[in-house]
Amino acid sequence: MGSRIIIERYTKGQVRLAVLTTRHKRGQMIKFSQQQLKTPKFMRPVYLVTAGQSKYGRAIPEKRTEELCIDALTMAAELLNLTPAELKKYIHTCYYGHFADHFGDQLLGEAVIHDRLGLDPLGNVGIKSGGATGGSTLWEAAKAVASGYSDCVLAMGWERMDEVPTDEGNFLIACAADRDWESPMGQIYTGYYAVMAQKYWQVFGKAEASFRRTLAEISVKHHGYARFNPFAHGAMKITVDDVLMSPMVADPLRALDACLMSVGAACAILCDEDTAMELTENTKNKPLRIWVTAGSHTLRPADRRTMEIPLLPNETADQYKKLGKEFPGADRYPGFTGFLAARIAAYYAYRMTGVTDPTADFDVIELHDAFTISDVQTYEDIGIRPYGHGRDYVESGDCYHTNPHTGRPGKLPSNLSGGLIGCMHAVGASGIMQVFEIASHLWGRWAEVHGDEKRWKEFGREKPADWTDLQVTGAKRALSVSHAGVGSHVTATVLMDPDHLLKKDA
């Protein structure tokens, strides 16, 4: 087989695929069946009615994990003007996201939390999918309501990463890689992802100094937004040069390009329509429609085979015809430059909810910024920018609350919480924290939740004198992406004001 570029199109229902990759010397490209690419469908609408979170910190020695979970559930109840006991009476099943048992040295930690939350005799189950654990927990919770099994479910996630020294923490995280083929090499998960970052850096970033500065801008933005978030523990007023001078971790990534390691808990309550209306009556929380989808890709990046690019609704096969020419080295999809799991989660989510252009259809998003460079990779995987052009989302100013070039609202603000870089990465909670954050915009409660002097004081944090209200005015639709390490699992969560749906039968 030669190295020619092959363009093929399939039009079978909603399946449109473009074959863009060279087929030479690599065996057959893998293909996905129509059944695998079917647009998911919930049996009935699912609503997010409230959410809550604890304080996040690098270490919280004064509290047990269950105390943090109770803090989160209590907050969720308070946003509905209820006591925790009143809210608990509605809950029918519980989904617990907790990634790393060995961090807390407690197998079946979910059972401990369930017990301490006093939720017997309800069915409950633990969810684990690495960095995507929070998103996967919501995925399971949403399906429980969508299927009719439960009318009200609790999705609670947490992580405790402060009970071992950092190098042992790195070892424990590396246990999530393949124990025979990857972990022995350095026992450092960052390294297993970093080879992908290097590929993106050289192929799509062309190893340009200007791109390096763009990456640094993301760090500045996320640490900066975290300053206005009392829950966050990575608040910093820094400059691009500060990022560029921070210690090297794995070239070109430096310490300030990386996410935090955190302790904390977050929860969400999902309901059917009747329960949602009852629980939110006379509250400031309008029930929000919620959809969650998920994708996967090989645990070992080494196993990734060439395939066609699954196209999102705002893309055409033609636009990627010259990808390999425009970016030499990009002729192997997804190679090490993209995350198939993120692409597939978006593929399902957009078709499920009627999204045709994520930049235009969403008002605010929270992405899984494990590293500045993976944030950029995700812009492309979820179609905010075409492959190879992710950096433009930052450089245009579209990703900011207020576009620094125009002084006008950013087209699609991202990670106003501070994200994983500025707010937290308490793994099992992260995906739920993201949903808490985007929901607070759709509820119009961002300032109330983040500006409350009492909360700043209670968390022992000083509210900055230049605290700024980051509420996205009139936000009606939002997206969050929860992502595991090298992209083995990714979920996409879409929230919409039910009066602003894009698809009637979604």
Partner 1 sequence: MSQYGQVQVKDNRYKFRGDFHRLEQHMPIRNADEGWKLVGVTKPRDMTYVHTYGGEAIFFESLSQGKLLATKCENPACEANGSIFQPFRIYCPDCLSKGTVIDMTDLAKKSATVHTFMVCERSGAFNMLDKPIRFINIEFENVCTILFSYLLVGEPHMGMRVVPVFKYHNPTYTILDLSWVPAGTKAESLPEGFGF
Binding residues for partner 1, rule: CB under 8 A, are: 25-28, 30-31, 61-62, 105, 165, 167-174, 179-182, 184-192, 194-199, 202, 248-251, 300-306, 329, 336
- Cα 339 to Cα 309: distance, rounded to the nearest angstrom: 11
> Rounded to the nearest 10 degrees, what angle do helices 189-203 and 166-174 cross at?
80
User: Rounded to the nearest whole angstrom, what is the least distance from the CB of residue 377 to partner 1 in the complex?
Assistant: 13
3-state secondary structure of 253: strand
Q: Name 89's Cβ contacts closer than 8 Å, sequence gap at least 6.
A: none
User: Rounded to the nearest whole angstrom, what is the least distance from the CB of residue 304 to partner 1 in the complex?
Assistant: 7
User: Rounded to the nearest whole angstrom, what is the least distance from the CB of residue 21 to partner 1 in the complex?
Assistant: 12
Nearer to partner 1, 202 or 359 (CB): 202
Long-range contacts of 186-195 (CB under 8 A, 24+ apart): 189/485, 190/249, 190/250, 190/253, 190/258, 191/250, 192/301, 192/485, 192/486, 193/370, 193/371, 193/374, 193/485, 193/486, 194/249, 194/250, 194/253, 195/301, 195/336
Q: Name 249's Cβ contacts closer than 8 Å, sequence gap at least 6.
A: 190, 194, 255, 257, 258
Radius of gyration of the chain, Cα coordinates, nearest whole angstrom: 21
User: Rounded to the nearest whole angstrom, what is the least distance from the CB of residue 105 to partner 1 in the complex?
Assistant: 6
Nearer to partner 1, 262 or 306 (CB): 306
Task: State which amino acid sits at residue 5.
Answer: I
Q: Are the beta carbons of 434 and 493 closer than 8 angstroms?
A: yes
Select from 400, 401, 402, 367 the least CA-distant residue to 382.
Answer: 367
User: Rounded to the nearest whole angstrom, what is the least distance from the CB of residue 473 to partner 1 in the complex?
Assistant: 42
Give Cα separations from 355 to 32, 63, 313, 411, 418 (angstroms): 22, 42, 8, 16, 25
User: Rounded to the nearest whole angstrom, what is the least distance from the CB of residue 25 to partner 1 in the complex?
Assistant: 5
Please count the other Cβ atoms lying within 10 Å of the Cβ belonging to residue 184. Answer: 11
- Cα 340 to Cα 328: distance, rounded to the nearest angstrom: 20
Nearer to partner 1, 122 or 172 (CB): 172
Nearer to partner 1, 255 or 360 (CB): 255
Nearer to partner 1, 4 or 25 (CB): 25
Tell me whether residue 250 is exposed, middle or buried, using C-beta atoms within 10 angstroms of its C-beta: 0 to 12, 13 to 18, 19 or more: middle
Nearer to partner 1, 480 or 488 (CB): 488
User: Rounded to the nearest whole angstrom, what is the least distance from the CB of residue 176 to partner 1 in the complex?
Assistant: 12
Select from 443, 402, 394 the least CA-distant residue to 216.
Answer: 394
User: Rounded to the nearest whole angstrom, what is the least distance from the CB of residue 296 to partner 1 in the complex?
Assistant: 13
User: Rounded to the nearest whole angstrom, what is the least distance from the CB of residue 34 to partner 1 in the complex?
Assistant: 15
Nearer to partner 1, 158 or 446 (CB): 158
Nearer to partner 1, 182 or 375 (CB): 182
- Cα 25 to Cα 396: distance, rounded to the nearest angstrom: 39
Nearer to partner 1, 207 or 277 (CB): 207
User: Rounded to the nearest whole angstrom, what is the least distance from the CB of residue 22 to partner 1 in the complex?
Assistant: 12
Nearer to partner 1, 251 or 462 (CB): 251
